[in-house]
Structure 1
Amino acid sequence: MTDMNESQDGPGVQALAASGLAHTLRRHGPVKSLTEAAAARGVAPQDMVKTMLVRRGKGDYLFVLVPGLRTISWPKLRAVLGVSRLSMPDADQAHHVTGYLRGAITPFGSAQTLPVIADVTLTGRMVSIGAGEHGVAATVDADQLVHHLQAQVVDVTEPSNWAE
């Protein structure tokens, strides 16, 4: 899909456009919750994809794609990665590693190319993933997304136990 504001787009939108991945770009205003974001993007909350930046060790990061209404299961993720400790970097470190502000992090156009893990529950449907700017997202086929990102697909999440 061609966007009228292409020349003003950030690296995430530009990387999506250059990827050849079929997608529909959606721009919306500020949102305060996953439910609001899903409504603004025209998808169900479970079809939202949160891109989480996880730190394995000093200078060692990866992206974890987490479907909406789910959260990372730290024991599962540690087992998959074969490590005893994982952490989430602070906002400044996340910005340094990805080039994106927290809440707008995406693997597309990241400052560093990082490995990607996608939760197994993500596949087999259309999903919405952020495009590197608050209020900008792409709707894509999850299987094509996983293939394009060369993501490892494994069981690393559990249902969220919090309400918005």
Structure 2
Amino acid sequence: MKKSKIKTNALRMLDRDKIPYEIKTYEYDEEHLSGEHVASQVDMDAGDIYKTLVLHEDHDYLVCCIPVLEEIDLKKLAKLSGHKKVEMLHMKDLLGLTGYMRGGCSPVGMKKKFPTYFDASIEKDRPIALSAGKRGYQMIVSSKDITTYCDAKIGDVVRDH
């Protein structure tokens, strides 16, 4: 297990629970927080880099991780999660609810544990990248380890092309 010099809630939790990870850093600025930018900066296939989205139905919150270049299908996620409909959390509410800011939101280490979902593309056991809880930092973890650790449900939640 490789310990990181930076410490975020996500990394402290992985260290505590002995979940192995590596850190990859990348350059960013306020204009470059997109999945395309992260994929161009992190030396991995874009399909192996996941973004973390926070959604809600009224005050029922959930987290969903999908490949960075994909778009969420809100109807598919609502069905998988047992909601009538879900919508993206407004960006101004993200930090207060999760403790993370846009571009640095991790499914691990939020202020509160929310039900977590991963797109079905996660099912192939391989190293994947997720935000380590800070802009410019990606944690590389086993897809199997992270879905188990997050107690995540897995299903098809991305838009069809």
> How do 1:96-107 residues align onto structure 2 when only pairs under 5 Å count?
96-107=96-107
Q: For residues 37-79 of structure 1, give each alpha carbon's deviation from its aligned partner in whole angstroms, at most 9, with x where no partner exists.
A: 1242211111110110011222x11110111322111121122
Structure 2 unmatched ranges of 5 or more: none
Deviation at 1:152, TM superposition (A): 0.5
Q: Which residue of structure 1 lines up, in the alignment, with residue 93 of structure 2?
A: 93
Structure 2 Cα separation of the partners of residues 49 and 98 of structure 1? 17
Cα distance, 1:119–1:92 mapped onto 2, change above 3 Å:
same
Q: Which residue of structure 1 lines up, in the alignment, with residue 77 of structure 2?
A: 77
Q: Which residue of structure 2 lines up, in the alignment, with residue 131 of structure 1?
A: 132
Deviation at 1:123, TM superposition (A): 2.2
**Residue aligned with 2:130, SS:** strand
Structure 1 unmatched ranges of 5 or more: none
Q: Given the alignment of the two structures, is residue 61 of structure 1 paired with residue 61 of structure 2, yes or no?
A: yes
Q: Letter of the aligned partner of 1:157 in structure 2? A: V
> How do 1:3-152 residues align onto structure 2 when only pairs under 5 Å count?
3=4, 5-6=5-6, 9-30=7-28, 32=32, 33-58=34-59, 60-124=60-124, 125-152=126-153
Task: Using the aligned pairs only, state the percent identity.
Answer: 21
**Residue aligned with 1:128, SS:** strand
Contact 1:12 1:133 in 2 (8 A): no
**Residue aligned with 1:71, SS:** coil
Report the aligned-residue RMSD. 1.7
| Equivalenced residues, count | 156
Q: For residues 110-157 of structure 1, give each alpha carbon's deviation from its aligned partner in whole angstroms, at most 9, with x where no partner exists.
A: 111111111111221221000110001111111111111110011111
